[in-house]
Amino acid sequence: MAESKEKHESGLLAPTSYDKEPPRDPSLIINSKTPFNAEPPVGALAQSFITPTPHFYKRNHGPIPILENEEEYRLTIDGLLPHPIKLTLAQLKSLGKEVVVASLMCAGNRRTEMSRLKAVRGVGWGPAAVGNAVWGGVPLSRVLQLAGVSQGAWETHSGGRHVEFVSVDRCKEEKGGPYRASIPLHMATCPDQEVLLAYEMNGEPLPRDHGCPLRAVVPGVIGARSVKWLDRINILADECQGFFQQLDYKMFPPWVDWDNVNWSSRSSIQDFPVQLAVCSPTSKDSIAPGSKVTVKGYALSGGGRKIERVDVSVDGGATWAEAQRLPQEGTHGRWAWTLWSLSAIVNPPCQIIAKCVDVASNTQPERVETIWNLRGVLNNSWFRVDIEPPKARL
């Protein structure tokens, strides 16, 4: 089909069908095949501070774009600029590489758990729509400065201006148009926010599933704003008007449903809240009463807030102990998750519960009921795992 060969200004091709998808790790749990949405078994996550790329969750809204020739790639920067500018990958790389260790998390992480209470719309996700990677690329603030958009000078008194990332993938929600999303201009121009235009993931060129050749990585913010396969960046007077910014990824109270939802009444989500999961044991592990187990998991918070404390109960909340936060490898800033563990004697049947607090003393809600929302986003309620003893042999 000629259409499937349509090349965008960036040199990226956007297939209309799913017959040219990249190979994927067979251990991934597939939540939707087309578009491809998958997460690793949750137990794999607590095994390493850096999530190996094959195990990193994959969240897509259309077929994966293709770059046939790296030299043809062009990133356009446009919008309110007096003249659009175009940059090759080599030009972007010549601006100097920075490395940021940052966790990405989908706003739909733990959606399946929320939908058990009452159905929500959206792809089901377990607790592994999150990962921590080493991203290599050029700081967005540096690229914008080159384009003449610097901190302060371009901001209005009321804030308001945004930086929009536009891809080429064909999304149903955008009626076949590309995925796009925006972040506030002050976030994009501030070097301390460490927003990257990444061309490397875990020391390798960005793989196709994760945005080859160039993606935004917006640390501390829901994954939806870290747009993959960048075609262009627009400086806008206002927020992006696309589906994923206006009609999705907003948080509503539990009493709002599809018959009375008013999307324009709510802000689009940027920073994610404090979140955690128990990675092991899982409810599939039967454990003999009196066994010593190591309870392990991840915890993270948005906006660069580190984790201050992780509390664990192995008796359904009757008693609590503080988990040990694991020392993290190498140099990293404030955007990475915290892995934690606690050894305890368990007496199944029992419920393991974990909850955490970030450095701003933000806590997690005890019950999912209090934060149920129609799109099933930001389920950060206390994490509960029911453990059964082995079945008695007859």
Ligand X SMILES: Nc1nc2c(c(=O)[nH]1)N[C@H]1C(S)=C(S)[C@@H](COP(=O)(O)O)O[C@H]1N2
- Taking the least distance from each CB to Mo ion, the nearer of 228 and 232 is 228
Q: How far is the CB of 132 from Mo ion (least distance, A)?
A: 16
User: Could you tell me the smallest distance in angstroms from the CB atom of residue 350 to Mo ion?
Assistant: 33
Three-state secondary structure call for residue 335: coil
Residue 165 Cβ vs ligand X, minimum distance, rounded to whole Å: 8
Nearer to ligand X, 45 or 344 (CB): 45
How far is the C-alpha of 27 from the C-alpha of 299, rounded, in Å? Answer: 23
Answer for the pair 312, 342: CB distance below 8 angstroms, yes or no.
yes
Mention every residue, 6+ apart, whose C-beta is less than 8 A from residue 20: 63, 64, 66
The reply on whether position 211 binds Mo ion by CB under 5 A is no
Question: Phi and psi (nearest 5°) for 205?
Answer: -55, 145
Q: CA-to-CA distance for 355 and 364, rounded, in angstroms? A: 6
Q: Binding string, 151-190, against Mo ion, x = CB under 5 A?
A: ----------------------------------------
Contacted entry of Mo ion, ligand X, none for residue 132, CB cut-off 5 to 8 Å set by kind: none
Min separation Cβ 148 and ligand X, Å: 26
Q: Which residues bind ligand X (CB under 6 A)?
A: 56-61, 104, 106, 167, 169, 179, 210, 223-224, 226-229
Task: State how far Cα 256 lies from the chain centre.
Answer: 25
Among candidate residues 325, 333, 381, 387, the one with its CA nearest the CA of residue 354: 381
User: Is residue 269 within 8 Å of residue 222, measured between CB atoms?
Assistant: yes
User: Which residue has its beta carbon closest to ligand X?
Assistant: 223
- Residue 229 binds what, of ligand X, Mo ion, none (CB under 5 to 8 Å, by partner type)? ligand X
Residue 123 binds Mo ion, judged by CB under 5 A: no
Q: Does 227 bind Mo ion (CB under 5 A)?
A: no
Considering CB distances under 5 to 8 angstroms, the limit depending on partner class, which of ligand X, Mo ion, none binds residue 344? none
Closest CA to 356 of 285, 291, 293, 302: 302
CB 180 within 8 A of CB 244: yes
- Residue 167's binding partner among Mo ion, ligand X, none (Cβ under 5 to 8 angstroms by kind) is ligand X
* Shortest distance (Å) from residue 108 CB to Mo ion: 6
CB of 11 to ligand X, least distance (A): 15
Q: How many helices (H) and strands (E) does the chain have?
A: 6, 23
Secondary element (H or E) of residue 186: helix 185-189
Choice between 17 and 286, CB closer to ligand X:
17
- Of 45, 92, 100, 106, the one binding Mo ion (CB under 5 A) is 106
